Amino acid sequence: MHALETNARIELREKAQGLTESYDQLPAEDVLKHAIKTLFPGRIGLVSSFGTEAAVLLHMVSRIDPYVPVIFLETGMHFPETLQYREDLVSRLGLCNIQTVRPRPASVKADDPDGILHQSNTDLCCHVRKTLPMLAALRGLDCWITGRKRGQAATRSELELFETQDRWLKVNPLLDWTADDVTAYFKAHDLPDHPLKERGYLSVGCLPCTRAVKPGEDARAGRWADSEKTECGIHFVDGKMVRGGS
């Protein structure tokens, strides 16, 4: 049973299913072209962390339409290397519509006045610093692009090309890409690696909650290590935050 079932939600899920059936055999860049140019012109954006694999979608979008909104959630806790990487990629790719979104100062003051909320309640920290600002940034859009992939974590193993979240559609054009696919794309298009990658950070989030990956661990093992949390909470399924677990 889906939370808050309404005719609008049912119709949106049916639309997502139909789009998946229509486009799931196309290469990722063709999916993006259709989504940006035909399906949601002027009503689609890319939510990007500017992490270790982010340059793939950023490059694709820049070649299709550099004015597509790119939403960057500035939590106030990013690695300095991520912020510099963002500036370097924006300049290199000629992206023209970067929307840097920050949490409301009043919310941070109320819930995390000392900047240590992540030590006691990572879910609330992510909610205040990521989820709420992102929802506000998405208000003018009908669809948002994500870089999630089925092979990244158990919580992502059943991703579909198009899916729904609240009133939005989401498209996951890289859902079947492997690490080798990403590496090949970087090489083919001479894209720079995130500066932390060579230090073992294969997935980069906020500084306090990210560590380098140890040999034999999967790429996201360094995110919220030693806890059950595997997702920041900006993605929901059936009205419930995707948090982690098996």
Is position 209 annotated in a ligand binding site?
Answer: yes
Is position 126 annotated in a ligand binding site?
Answer: yes
Is position 96 annotated in a ligand binding site?
Answer: no
Q: Do 241 and 123 touch, CB atoms closer than 8 A? A: yes
- The number of angstroms, rounded, from the C-alpha of 190 to the middle of its chain's C-alpha atoms is 22
Give the active site residue among 47, 232, 234, 242.
232
Is position 143 annotated in a ligand binding site?
Answer: no
- 143 counts as catalytic: no
- Which residue do the tokens 């089925």 mark? 150
> Which residues participate in the annotated binding site for [4Fe-4S] cluster?
125-126, 206, 209
> Which residues participate in the annotated binding site?
125-126, 206, 209
Residues annotated catalytic, as ranges = 232
